[in-house]
A = this chain, B = another copy of it.
């Protein structure tokens, strides 16, 4: 009985995600779902990315509370909608679909969705995005791929952020790349520092390459 409710919920989520995808496709916009732990540097990555991207973008910010991240993005002049989820540990597809109403999709070729800080639930809840990006920071340790295999299996790209901290933390890039192979990842991997700008170019190329020509 309980299981049926959960299955219905999953199916309802998928139905909404398909609606979102249809709205995006009709406008020619490509959506990217950024998933990472609290503190991985998702907002900082957006702050480093948006001014250099060379492709028009809009942002949907997900958080439990506060509009701090949306304010950070808004200061860059990028159109942004904040979703506050209250207690929900992931962005619900219904609210993402509704958030699209607040964006001018005809002038945004990429819609970057920053999910709630969490490696688990956001990985399994589809939002209608075209691509998933996992954001991992070197400060979190090199065991996260093996411990959260679903996200890293599904991710189309993996950003390893905060490489400026490598001299100060215990983090083996080889171990991460080995574990990515173990979980069957086919992701492009970008080692970068949103803070210093090191390694950003390859990520910017990948991301701008996801946009469709208009």
Contact = CB atoms under 8 A, between A and B. Distances in A.
Nearest to A121: B89
A73 to B, nearest CB: 14
A143 interface: yes
Interface in A82-132: 87-89, 116-121, 124
Given A5-B2, A64-B120, A119-B117, A38 B139 contact: no
Contacts of A41: 141
A150 to B, nearest CB: 7
Contacts of A121: 89, 121
Interface stretch (A19-27, A47-55, A162-170, A197-205): A162-170
A148 B5 contact: no
A14 interface: no
Contact of A68 (B5, B68, B147): B147
Nearest to A86: B150
Interface in A34-48: 37-39, 41
A181 to B, nearest CB: 16
A167 to B, nearest CB: 8
17 contacts: A2-B5, A37-B117, A38-B119, A39-B137, A39-B140, A39-B144, A64-B150, A65-B146, A65-B149, A68-B147, A88-B120, A89-B118, A116-B120, A117-B147, A121-B121, A164-B168, A165-B169
The list of the 7 closest CB pairs from A to B, nearest first, reads A39-B140, A139-B139, A89-B120, A37-B38, A39-B141, A37-B37, A89-B121
